[in-house]
Copies of this chain bind each other. A is one copy, B any other.
């Protein structure tokens, strides 16, 4: 299909320093935890963006030497020749798709963790690491500042050796250049502190050092936090612009990658959809564009081509930057170019991708199960191998795993019937998307719905009610995928004790499950949310109830409500929300019993009350202490049980019990996917559906095929041992 001419503007080439990008799509730096140590994964992941049409593709932050060490977080590195070789592989792949390769050179200063080198990190002043306040930055001497500038220059040379076209100096996210500029961090009194010009000196010298080291052959740009959003103590918009002016005056910066906020305020930049609509940084880029000679890159979870056109036409920026949109759909530009923007797999803004950075695991994406699997499993997001024998497949349940499995099976040429008991497809997401702030999560459904509609070999049957084992056996399908999902428990069992809570029974009017709430169950004025899950459901229920004017108390066993949202960058604003909506939280507490009645009482105990855990075995023997009966009685009208989920595996169990009948009914295999096998987060459930469909021809499709593990093997070449 031809591209819609209204999107032509997005495909104009853009001059950027000594290079030309062939369109306006700029895949900005973001972490994926491949670093320089998994060259295959790194190259294939970044290369897929180039293949999908992004004309500039960047690494994540890339350390310039062991003096800036963020381990155990994974940065890329340009420390030595080995790193050059590994990143050279990435640039080769990116270049093979006619895109420019960028590297983001990084010196973290007092924000780096320093746990591989064991060395303290150097900054403008001495201050405690925001996240590990036991360790402090060292306040550099001027000689040490000069050393750091030399490290930048040396890394720039290695970057050129590695084949990069573009060097981005990270001066956002509280890293070193902005530490010098921001009076928040910079308490110096010498030529690098005090006046604005003095505080700007280091950053300008960095840009100069990079340019000098690469002799004008490479693009030198800067990622700038145009406003740290910490008020007059830090960099505000006018300060950011003043820096841009200074650098422009000296012609030191070929382009500006604009963002906002700080390292610990990251969630105000990579805004989760719970709190931020997409296209929210026009206010930040437009004034930069007004003074910059070179191009300006805007981010803000832009997935709509119409928004993108507006960015360009309103003069907000020259490039459409994308981190999360390029993860969810590396082919985003190509899909616009090919006149099929409706096929874009839009980011839902859940930030599970970012959560993996904090956890130390590989990046993963709720929408795109192939992210980071391009190399190790050989998965391409848009290319699917044809089924070896395209048999008929019945998929029971159109929740996240079932939809994804049916979609991929369909693309592979199977004859698929996707059957959903309810009137609409989507499973648990139909509820979740109605939790406050989570509307965009509905894209999990809308994307798959639109794709399924295009597949002539997939029939979607809705409102068919629950299928029995007999229904399945008699259906006539050769293979059966069970994707019946999970439900919230009605008995209060949770990980706290792995036992039901006495008195917990959501069939009573005084207690509810989240599903019952979303189905409209009436609750009174005072609600207790019992949340052991710690992610979005408990706060979803609490906020929904608070918005309905109820008085809400959350009882949670963790140190804080919704602890997992700390990793998804929602945490700070979730805490603000709880505070502003006057939702009371009882951390480190759980319910030992619930008494339902006219007034319902939750007997809440502190996990650290005497005797709850037996602390001190002695040589004389274990001393089993009775837990004290110290409790806080919380009165309410309804208790919402966000305690644990339970897989809906009755159908699976029934079919497995009748395995002997499969063959006679023409069934070759039955395959569980997603929550009915084991409840899990959406990303993992969708991944499971995808994985099964990719490997559906394998003799043992239930067991995932091995994937490539990039690791050194001891003496492999010199002294093979096996």
Using a CB–CB distance below 8 Å, which chain A residues touch chain B? 36-40, 43, 66-67, 71-72, 79-82, 84-86, 88-89, 113, 115-122, 126-130, 133-138, 141, 161, 184-185, 187, 227, 229-231, 233, 236-237, 260, 265, 268, 275-276, 279-284, 356, 359-362, 364, 494-495, 497-499, 532-535, 559-560, 563-564, 572-573, 575-576, 578-580, 587-588, 606-610, 613-622, 624, 644-647, 656, 677-681, 684, 687-688, 691, 703-704, 706-707, 709-717, 720-722
Q: In the complex the two chains form, what is the Cα distance from A186 to B717 in whole Å?
A: 47
CB distance from A536 to the nearest CB of B (A): 9
CB distance from A539 to the nearest CB of B (A): 13
Q: In the complex the two chains form, what is the Cα distance from A646 to B229 in whole Å?
A: 27
Q: In the complex the two chains form, what is the Cα distance from A88 to B711 in whole Å?
A: 16
Asked whether A678 and B118 contact (CB < 8 A) given A284-B617, A624-B231, A713-B86, the answer is no
Q: Can you spell out 12 A-B residue pairs with CB atoms less than 8 angstroms apart?
A: A40-B714, A79-B706, A85-B715, A115-B364, A133-B532, A134-B564, A161-B722, A233-B499, A260-B617, A265-B613, A283-B618, A560-B587
Let me know if B126 and A647 touch, CB within 8 A. Answer: yes
B-side contacts of A71, CB under 8 Å:
361
CB distance from A193 to the nearest CB of B (A): 13
Q: Which of A283, A497, A535 has the most CB of B within 10 A?
A: A283
B-side contacts of A624, CB under 8 Å:
231, 236
Shortest Cβ distance from A625 into B: residue: B231
CB distance from A24 to the nearest CB of B (A): 20
Let me know if A118 and B687 touch, CB within 8 A. Answer: yes
Let me know if A587 and B559 touch, CB within 8 A. Answer: yes
Residue from B138, B276, B281, B532 within 8 A of A678 (CB atoms) = B138
Asked whether A576 and B608 contact (CB < 8 A) given A37-B711, A616-B275, the answer is yes
Residue from B72, B588, B715 within 8 A of A360 (CB atoms) = B72
B-side contacts of A237, CB under 8 Å:
621-622
Q: Which of A113, A576, A617, A721 has the most CB of B within 10 A?
A: A617
Asked whether A578 and B236 contact (CB < 8 A) given A229-B622, A644-B133, A722-B161, the answer is no
CB distance from A485 to the nearest CB of B (A): 12
Shortest Cβ distance from A647 into B: residue: B126
Let me know if B573 and A128 touch, CB within 8 A. Answer: no
Q: In the complex the two chains form, what is the Cα distance from A722 to B89 in whole Å?
A: 12
CB distance from A62 to the nearest CB of B (A): 15
Q: In the complex the two chains form, what is the Cα distance from A513 to B208 in whole Å?
A: 44
Q: In the complex the two chains form, what is the Cα distance from A43 to B714 in whole Å?
A: 10
CB distance from A650 to the nearest CB of B (A): 13
Residue from B498, B616, B715 within 8 A of A185 (CB atoms) = B498
Q: In the complex the two chains form, what is the Cα distance from A559 to B575 in whole Å?
A: 10
CB distance from A46 to the nearest CB of B (A): 13
Let me know if B533 and A133 touch, CB within 8 A. Answer: yes
Let me know if B679 and A115 touch, CB within 8 A. Answer: no
Residue from B497, B613, B681, B717 within 8 A of A717 (CB atoms) = B717
B-side contacts of A579, CB under 8 Å:
606, 608-610
Residue from B187, B281, B617, B716 within 8 A of A268 (CB atoms) = B617
CB distance from A180 to the nearest CB of B (A): 14
Let me know if B721 and A85 touch, CB within 8 A. Answer: yes
Shortest Cβ distance from A265 into B: residue: B613
CB distance from A113 to the nearest CB of B (A): 8
Let me know if A359 and B115 touch, CB within 8 A. Answer: yes
Let me know if A534 and B133 touch, CB within 8 A. Answer: yes
Asked whether A495 and B129 contact (CB < 8 A) given A81-B722, A82-B709, A619-B283, the answer is yes
CB distance from A586 to the nearest CB of B (A): 12
Asked whether A494 and B622 contact (CB < 8 A) given A85-B714, A644-B127, the answer is no
B-side contacts of A691, CB under 8 Å:
118
10 A-B pairs closest in CB distance: A120-B678, A39-B714, A138-B678, A72-B360, A115-B361, A559-B560, A360-B360, A128-B495, A579-B608, A72-B361
CB distance from A187 to the nearest CB of B (A): 8
16 new A-B contacts at CB < 8 Å, known A136-B680, A279-B619: A36-B711, A37-B712, A39-B713, A66-B704, A86-B711, A115-B364, A118-B687, A134-B564, A135-B679, A227-B622, A237-B621, A237-B622, A260-B617, A268-B616, A575-B588, A575-B608
CB distance from A705 to the nearest CB of B (A): 10
